[in-house]
Amino acid sequence: MTKASEENSRLPMASRSIIRTGRLPRLPWKNGAGTTREVAVFPGGSGPDSFRWRISVASIIEGAPFSTFPGVDRHFLVATPGTIEMTIPEGTAILTFGQSVSFPGEDEVAVQVLNGPVSAVNFMTDRTACSGAQHVQRVSGRVALKASTAALVMLVGSAQTEDGWKLGPMDILTCGPESETLNFTAATICTMHAWPNNTAFAE
């Protein structure tokens, strides 16, 4: 991929940020059935019906139906130890730490906690504007993030940016327009990717 095509395939924030999830305020779900912490929206300042992508971290303490988001694709990751059962139109899915599922935001989805509570990372993309994906992987050493990376969440281990910022479990880095390289130590991470619909995602 050329430099120009890499730039056209990105949907980054205006500047890089490191978010300590535990310091964010809890907000009610759209349907009032649970709470979440909003991490980032793109473009910055977008509302619940105008974002291209959105990242939040939900606290799942007990069974509840999910809010619906018509026109949005949802990528849902269990980010802390525990087990949940999700009911989706195709059936049920048992998810444990580090496992994820994707589904259309208009689907009727519910969750039951089998071993918890758990925290879950929700990555949502506006289907008309862009596509998205989550990737969980184990990494160590110096790693350059792909151009399509919108954000990274630390699940296990630690990392340090090239300018000295440190990340631990449940810290989230949202990427700005500059490329990012981090030094990881015995880490498990989830990267969230977003790219405009007129471009192809390069693995």
Residue 49: per-residue pLDDT = 75
Percent of the chain with pLDDT over 70: 90
- What residues make up the domain containing 78? 23-126
Question: 161 in a domain, yes or no?
Answer: yes
Place of tokens 């405009």: 196
**Pairing outcome for strands 64-65 and 72-78:** unpaired
Residue 24: per-residue pLDDT = 94
Residue 154 per-residue DSSP state: E
Tell me: the pLDDT tens digits for 73-121?
999 999 999 999 999 988 999 999 999 999 999 999 999 999 989 999 9
Q: What is the CATH number of the domain that holds 90?
A: 2.60.120.10
Band of pLDDT at residue 12, cut at 50, 70 and 90: low
In this structure, the answer to whether residues 119 and 138 fall within a common structural domain is no
Tell me: the pLDDT tens digits for 163-200?
999 999 999 999 988 889 999 999 999 999 998 887 54
User: What's the domain count of the chain?
Assistant: 2
15 has a pLDDT exceeding 70: yes
In this structure, the answer to whether residues 154 and 178 fall within a common structural domain is yes
In this structure, the answer to whether residues 121 and 183 fall within a common structural domain is no
Residue 103: per-residue pLDDT = 94
- Average pLDDT value over all residues in the chain: 88
State how far the alpha carbon of 36 is from the alpha carbons of 39, 57, 82, 144, in Å.
9, 5, 17, 30
| Domain stop point among 98, 126, 154 | 126
Residue 110: per-residue pLDDT = 94
For residue 3, the surrounding DSSP H or E stretch is helix 3-8
| Domain stop point among 99, 126, 153 | 126
d(CA 64, CA 32): 10
In this structure, the answer to whether residues 117 and 145 fall within a common structural domain is no
